[in-house]
Amino acid sequence: STGINAESQRYFIKISGIFTGSLIHLVHRVLPGATEIHMYRSLIPCLFSWTRVMGARRFKDTANFGVNLLPTKYRRIWEKIKVTGSYEKFLFAMLCQIHPYYLESQSGRKLRAYSYESLLEHREEFCKNLLFELGIKEELTSLALTALEKDSQRNSPLSRKIVSKTPQVDIPSEARDWISRIGREEFGIEMEGPYCWLTTRP
């Protein structure tokens, strides 16, 4: 997300989606001086969410399609380490969308990063910090907390696509170990635990 403050106006631009992270560097060309806020989530829960929305068949197609959409530098890495599993392909694609934010941080740009897990664990503190970064009054924290209790996707086209009866997929330990190793060796990103929690943070 990016924000621009002026005396009379404030803009918020939300960049979301699994294949948009590699576009973040363009924000500075179009909106110099914009404040960046990056929200990320552990890889395995992200994968669970996508399989729930898409179902097994569409998920497999998306995993194959996603790798082909990656920028050249990431496709070169993939050609070197590629495997056939759909889970590995999807996890690699997600890692490639997270990595540009690490590069932004390393380049010295001001970047605030928040984990989805920290939102779930410390809701009030999270909301206060986020509102502060956005220049919004702290008094609105209670309103933000109330909004968190609502289903923002209710009756949306996305919610109607959710395959509600699809059981949670079982990710093989080999796939988890593989993406953890690739994150460390190819991206310098450390992960730990069965959910591939990002311990190296932007």
In sign, the C-alpha dihedral spanning 72, 73, 79, 85 is: negative
What 3-state DSSP class applies to 111? strand
| 68 Cβ contact list (under 8 Å, min separation 6) | 75
Helix axes 72-81, 43-69, angle to 10 degrees: 110
Kindly report, residue by residue over 141-196, the tens digit of the pLDDT: 888 888 777 766 666 655 665 555 556 778 889 999 999 999 999 999 999 999 99
Given a cut of 90, whether residue 199 has pLDDT beyond it is no
The yes-or-no verdict on residue 82 having pLDDT over 70 is yes
The pTM assigned to this predicted structure is 0.79
Name the pLDDT band for 64 (thresholds 50, 70, 90): confident
CA distance 160 to 167: 17
103-134 residue pLDDT tens: 877 777 777 788 888 888 888 888 888 888 77
Residue 67, pLDDT > 80, answer yes
**What's the mean pLDDT when you consider all of the chain?**
79
Mean pLDDT of 36-61: 83
Average pLDDT over residues 34-45: 83
pLDDT at 166: 57
